[in-house]
Amino acid sequence: MTEEEIRNDVRQQLKQAIEGQHVMLFMKGTPDMPRCGFSARMVGMLDALGADYVAMDILPHPVIREELSELSGWPTIPQLFLDGELVGGCDIATEMFESGELAEALGVQQPNGAPAPEPAAPGPRPIQLGE
C-alpha cells in the first residue's frame, strides 16, 4: 500500500468509529492502561459516570493521530465524540463533568458531589522491538 492508501484507510476507519459509536474516546493507551494523565482522567470521568464507551489507542501509528486531528479539527489527545460529534478534549470534558453536562449528554446519572477524577500516573511504557 502507498502512504496515501494507508492514510485513506485510516481516515475511513476513524470515520466509521466516530459515526458508529454512541460514545467514542480516542486516547493515548487503553482504558486499562492509559499512557498519559489526560487520557487517564478522561477514562476516570467516563468510568465514574458508568458510561458505556469505546476507546481507540492513537499511539500505534502516527498516521492515526494525524488523520484524527485533521478530521476533528482538534489538535490534542484525548478526543471525546458523542453521537458522531466532537465534544472536545480533557479540559472541556472536565468542565462538563463538574457541571453535570457530561452526565446529561451521556444520558446517565451524575454522582452526587463527585469532582472530576484526578489524572493517574500513566502506566509503564510497553517494550518496543529493538530495545
Tell if the pTM clears 0.75, that is, is over it: yes
CA atoms within 13 Å, Cβ hemisphere of 27: 27
Q: Residue 17: CB partners within 8 Å, gap ≥ 6?
A: 24, 54, 56
Q: Tens-of-pLDDT digits for all 131 residues of the chain? A: 898 999 999 999 999 999 999 999 999 999 999 999 999 999 999 999 999 999 999 999 899 999 999 999 999 999 999 999 999 999 999 999 999 999 999 999 887 765 566 655 555 555 444 44
CA atoms within 13 Å, Cβ hemisphere of 16: 6
* Residue 95 host element (H or E): helix 90-99
In order of their start, the domains of the chain are 3-106 (3.40.30.10)
